[in-house]
Structure 1
Amino acid sequence: MTTPTEHPSPATSTSPPSVTPPPRPGLWRDMRTSEDWWAIWCGAFLLAASFAAVWWFQPAELATAIAAGEAVEVVSPLKGYVAKPGGWSHNPWDALQPKLVGIVGVFVIIGGVFAAAMALRGKPAGGFLMAFPGVFMLATVAYVLAGQEVVKAYNLEYALWALLLGLIISNTVGTPQILRPAILTEFFIKTGLVLLGAEVLMSRLLALGLPGVFVAWFVTPVVLITTYLFGQKVLGIRSKSLNMVISADMSVCGVSAAIATAAACRAKKEELSLSIGLSLGFTVIMMVVLPAIIKAVGMDPILGGAWLGGTIDSTGAVAAAGAVLGDEALEVAATVKMIQNILIGITAFCVAIYWVTFVERDPRGPRLGISEIWYRFPKFVLGFVTMSVVFSLLYANLTAGPELVDATIQGSSKTLRGWFFCLAFVSIGLETNFRELLPQLKGGKPLLLYVCGQSLNLVLTLAVAYLMFKIVFAEAIAP
């Protein structure tokens, strides 16, 4: 049974519902109880605490040294207390032992913040505290597996191992009931996305100027809309929400966009899992194959980086693939991807409007108003945008803004964000049963949708990137 403050995922049908939406909670009550709002509060608290620690312990005369052109290193005092497992070759303990204090620190921070949030929302915090160690242990194992020397060489990231661990448990022995209070997929991922907002600085838009904006903001909506229409009109995919989540996942920026879009169109968890599985699988393939193709044909590193940034789903995978081509390609790829990441919120908002006004509207019933769009809109996206704006202002206006913001992100918030994502992937796996996914894979339509959509994405991104980076703005971006 779902409370009015939650955002359930009802079964998708081919016809819109004919009932009037139930009464919605008031804004104040929603802000005190809703998971979306609490993702904002938790993320904002963690970012504020992280920045405050850096600010309080910044080196003496930092501003003077920077004004004099001296190199000054700013390190977060939290860096030793917030960590993830490192790399190893033969003994897994080598990944844990040097980082043990930091791993325990993350466990205490996330466990404490989320337990407090659960209690303040009126949820059973005790059950969460009993279950969280088990879910956190699985996330730790995923990080350790991803850090193995051979595995790391193949760029098999923690997200894949976290998902696999959860899937193995849920599809063999079954997910233990004791773990369920800590399987908070959306709460984890939404809080992580709020933290991500601090990393997507608005100033990055100026790094490569209009070329990156054209590649990211023109191609993405064209591919998303075209892929969705292709799935509906040509492939005849019955579930519109599955069609939309796959289209957004593939065209915007992978898992983050899939989560935001799934919340906007109320996709089922099984559909979200399927979309993420397709995304992770193709991300691993593309991050290996695309750099090899770029090198083989002798493509310019700037053009190659723009192509990678606009097509590979995961930000981490984009960085890894760009690094293979060199620093120049890495800079372009990461910037294009960060510009594209800003579309997460815009995409979720547009999908919410489309879903309420077209997909779920009953022509025979009352017309749904703007209030229903606001209710459906994923509120955590507001936190993502707000954190981006706040940290962009800090970065640009404080005397030592770049050093302080970078120390905050590198010293704690980026690591915490990775843990939140890892916990979310473990939770997705624990919640997913392949027997429930099989009907969605019938006929191979979701796979065909992803392949066709990604093919269009690859061709169109390369064409627009060539036009923008090598012709229209070639002189402006020349080194």
Structure 2
Amino acid sequence: MSQDSNVVVDKGKSSFSDLWTKEDYWAIWLGFLIIATAFFLYFNFTPTQEFKDQIAQQNAVMETEAAKAPFKTIAWYKAKDAKGKLKAADGGVGKFIKHWTASPGSWSSNPVEAFILSKERADAKNEAAKPKYEEAKAKTESAFALAQAAETAAAAASFQNVDLNDDAKAKIEAWHALKKKESDVKKKVSNKPYNRIPTLVGLCVALALFFSIGMKFMGKEPLGFMQGFVVVFGVATLAYMMGGQAVAKQYGVGAEAWGVIIGMLIANTVGTPNFVKKACEVEYFIKTGLVLLGAEVLFNKIVAIGIPGIFVAWVVTPIVLICTFIFGQRVLKMPSKTLNIVISADMSVCGTSAAIATAAACRAKKEELTLSIGLSLVFTAIMMIAMPAFIKAVGIPEVLGGAWMGGTIDATGAVAAAGAFLGEKALYVAATIKMIQNVLIGVTAFGVAVYWCTKVECEAGKSVGWMEIWHRFPKFVLGFLSASILFSMIDGSLGGDMGYTMIDNGVVRGFTREFREWFFALSFAAIGLATNFRELAHYFKGGKPLVLYVCGQSFNLALTLGMAYIMFYLVFPEITAQI
């Protein structure tokens, strides 16, 4: 295999025909086809005016209650909860999409339940969880009675008695917290029978046809792709099944890791058949998914957490990336500059997404990209479990712990899971900082493209034209940024409440995210199937890639923790107090 056929992108040249013959552009077209379809369906077949009326009604109640009492009353919380239940994805469009994109379900001891859950088994699960639900329900009712009595007492004093107000506030908050717990427990008594085999078969066929359109125009063999795609989809489905197992879920070993593991087991035992290799389009799948990820990274979320989060995400990240790259070249003497920069970006920015963008910008070999992603998956799984445990053990505050994890753990999903282990504040801060950091995917790719064209591959006596930067720039990143800007503008024009109902809990959670998660699962399955340990062995000479990742991540952990503490607790403590 020649070097050019083994790099993440082709030679640096561009033409008008690239718009329909290149992978990056097809990722954009397919991603925006899904986005356009989502907007059309949700804004034409959901009761938008009804949502507006209900939101206005609940907001009026909240305003009245806020003016009446110096604390959030029971009626205020009920109105807020009623508004939070307004989700476009709960309507007909959302139910249809979720039905046909559903992944295998959760299971404990019988893997068949991931695909088929009988009515008898669903009823048995509901009955088993019923005692805990009844207990939670009783606690909520008892707390509600106390909250109601406390609020009545405060109202009798015209809300002028500070002690009565404080007592009412505390008891109402306690009731609302128990109500949320009851809602979580209620989900465990709401199991319904299902058979996901027909929908999985239908989804496999639909996605095979969906991606084969681009394969045809890119000059590849659509029929061969579709034949191999069945196996790739099968591995992704098995990965979802294994990720849904109770113990695997408990330890955070999700479908991403299982996709790589199962794929590698096949590739390094019986071997990946040649017809399957035709469908191992790692970059094609994940680039399309990354365009859809742009819909989830709204710029207004940057404002929500303010300047502290920007410092943690946008100042620390480039420092770590540059220092790690220099360390790899000057101290470790890494033989491959492309492997060095891909690992540095993978570890410092946001894992797989940044690795793909950076590998495309510097034209890294596919094996180098695979190695980088493999290291990221291993350390993400470790850090997702170890960091929350360490933070709790040493007593680090939730906000600081969330900021620390958001800036260091690679995958967005793993960040959210780790934040949830600590609490709501940690989850909010961690996820927000990670999404702020995700914006750097495009910036990182552009910076690497500039550096590679002007420094690394610039021969003596020759100059590299600025157009070469455009040739090397991963075009799919433009789709990611465009989707982010588009969704930010639409979300802003709708307003916070309607944006929550129609965009976040409609177009995104009820459409684009469903497909994005499957595209990521397909890419990880393809990575595993395309990975042969013998081909990767020479990259571990002296263990340098592993040493680079460990040293870089250690520096990242120290610098991020220091910056988070300075920004959130020394420079902007008032912002932290409001989180």
Q: Give the TM-score range, shorter chain.
A: over 0.9
Structure 1 pair 228–284 and aligned structure 2 pair: CA distance change class (3 A) = same
Q: 1:104-183, aligned counterparts within 5 Å? A: 104-183=201-280
Is contact 1:87-1:95 (8 Å) kept? yes
Specify the alignment match of 2:514 in structure 1.
Answer: 415
Cα-to-partner distance string for 1:23-49 (whole Å, 9 max, x where unaligned): 8341x2111101000000001101111
CA distance in 1, matches of 2:5, 2:471: 12
Select 2:101's aligned residue among 79, 82, 91: 82
AA aligned opposite 2:501: E
CA distance in 2, matches of 1:22, 1:460: 37
Is contact 2:12-2:468 (8 Å) kept? no
Q: 1:398-413, aligned counterparts within 5 Å? A: 398=494, 400-406=498-504, 407-413=506-512
CA distance in 1, matches of 2:200, 2:408: 33
CA distance in 2, matches of 1:22, 1:120: 18
Specify the alignment match of 2:473 in structure 1.
Answer: 377
Specify the alignment match of 2:482 in structure 1.
Answer: 386
- How far 1:173 sits from its partner (Å)? 1.6
Select 2:540's aligned residue among 425, 441, 452: 441
Specify the alignment match of 1:465 in structure 2.
Answer: 564
- How far 1:436 sits from its partner (Å)? 1.5
Q: 1:185-204, aligned counterparts within 5 Å? A: 185-204=282-301
AA aligned opposite 2:311: F
Select 2:112's aligned residue among 77, 84, 93: 93
Cα-to-partner distance string for 1:259-302 (whole Å, 9 max, x where unaligned): 11111111111111111111111111111111111111111100
Structure 1 spans left out of the alignment, 5+ residues: 12-20
Task: Report the secondary structure of 1:235's partner residue.
Answer: coil
User: What TM-score does the superposition give when structure 2 sets the normalisation length?
Assistant: 0.78
Q: Is structure 2 residue 386 aligned with structure 1 residue 289?
A: yes
Q: Is structure 2 residue 311 aligned with structure 1 residue 322?
A: no
CA distance in 2, matches of 1:237, 1:66: 58
- How far 1:209 sits from its partner (Å)? 0.7
- How far 1:73 sits from its partner (Å)? 2.9
- How far 1:7 sits from its partner (Å)? 7.5
CA distance in 1, matches of 2:109, 2:12: 58
Task: Report the secondary structure of 2:38's partner residue.
Answer: helix
AA aligned opposite 1:29: S
Cα-to-partner distance string for 1:112-169 (whole Å, 9 max, x where unaligned): 2112222233432111122211110111001101110111111001111111111111
Is contact 2:4-2:11 (8 Å) kept? no
Select 1:63's aligned residue among 26, 44, 52: 52
CA distance in 2, matches of 1:357, 1:283: 33
Structure 1 pair 127–204 and aligned structure 2 pair: CA distance change class (3 A) = same
Cα-to-partner distance string for 1:10-35 (whole Å, 9 max, x where unaligned): 59xxxxxxxxx978341x21111010
Percent sequence identity over aligned pairs: 53
Q: Is structure 2 residue 21 aligned with structure 1 residue 33?
A: yes
CA RMSD of aligned residues (A): 1.9
Task: Report the secondary structure of 2:453's partner residue.
Answer: helix
Q: 1:12-51, aligned counterparts within 5 Å? A: 24-26=13-15, 28-51=16-39
- How far 1:429 sits from its partner (Å)? 1.5
Is contact 2:312-2:407 (8 Å) kept? yes
- How far 1:402 sits from its partner (Å)? 2.4
- Number of residue equivalences: 465
AA aligned opposite 1:470: Y
Specify the alignment match of 1:73 in structure 2.
Answer: 87
- How far 1:65 sits from its partner (Å)? 2.0
CA distance in 1, matches of 2:395, 2:491: 37
Is contact 1:82-1:412 (8 Å) kept? no
Structure 1 pair 446–328 and aligned structure 2 pair: CA distance change class (3 A) = same
CA distance in 2, matches of 1:264, 1:126: 30
- How far 1:463 sits from its partner (Å)? 0.3
Is contact 1:83-1:103 (8 Å) kept? yes
Task: Report the secondary structure of 1:68's partner residue.
Answer: helix
Structure 1 pair 337–22 and aligned structure 2 pair: CA distance change class (3 A) = closer
AA aligned opposite 1:432: T
Is contact 1:8-1:266 (8 Å) kept? no
Is contact 2:7-2:366 (8 Å) kept? no
Q: Is structure 2 residue 558 aligned with structure 1 residue 456?
A: no
Is contact 2:98-2:514 (8 Å) kept? no
CA distance in 2, matches of 1:394, 1:237: 46
- How far 1:102 sits from its partner (Å)? 4.5
Task: Report the secondary structure of 2:471's partner residue.
Answer: helix
CA distance in 1, matches of 2:12, 2:283: 23
AA aligned opposite 1:24: K
Specify the alignment match of 2:347 in structure 1.
Answer: 250
AA aligned opposite 2:53: T
Task: Report the secondary structure of 2:206's partner residue.
Answer: helix
AA aligned opposite 1:238: P
Cα-to-partner distance string for 1:354-403 (whole Å, 9 max, x where unaligned): 11111111114x31101111010000000000000111111111252321
Structure 1 pair 294–472 and aligned structure 2 pair: CA distance change class (3 A) = same
AA aligned opposite 1:192: G
**With CA pairs under 8 Å and 6+ residues apart, which has the higher RCO, 1 or 2?**
1
Is contact 2:402-2:419 (8 Å) kept? yes
Select 2:523's aligned residue among 424, 427, 430: 424
- How far 1:58 sits from its partner (Å)? 1.2
Structure 1 pair 25–347 and aligned structure 2 pair: CA distance change class (3 A) = closer
AA aligned opposite 2:257: L
CA distance in 2, matches of 1:84, 1:7: 36
Task: Report the secondary structure of 1:362's partner residue.
Answer: coil
AA aligned opposite 2:114: A
Structure 2 spans left out of the alignment, 5+ residues: 59-81, 117-193
Select 2:365's aligned residue among 257, 268, 274: 268
CA distance in 2, matches of 1:238, 1:452: 17
CA distance in 2, matches of 1:107, 1:152: 25
- How far 1:79 sits from its partner (Å)? 2.2
CA distance in 1, matches of 2:264, 2:87: 43
CA distance in 2, matches of 1:448, 1:114: 38
CA distance in 2, matches of 1:131, 1:240: 33
- How far 1:210 sits from its partner (Å)? 0.5
Specify the alignment match of 1:206 in structure 2.
Answer: 303
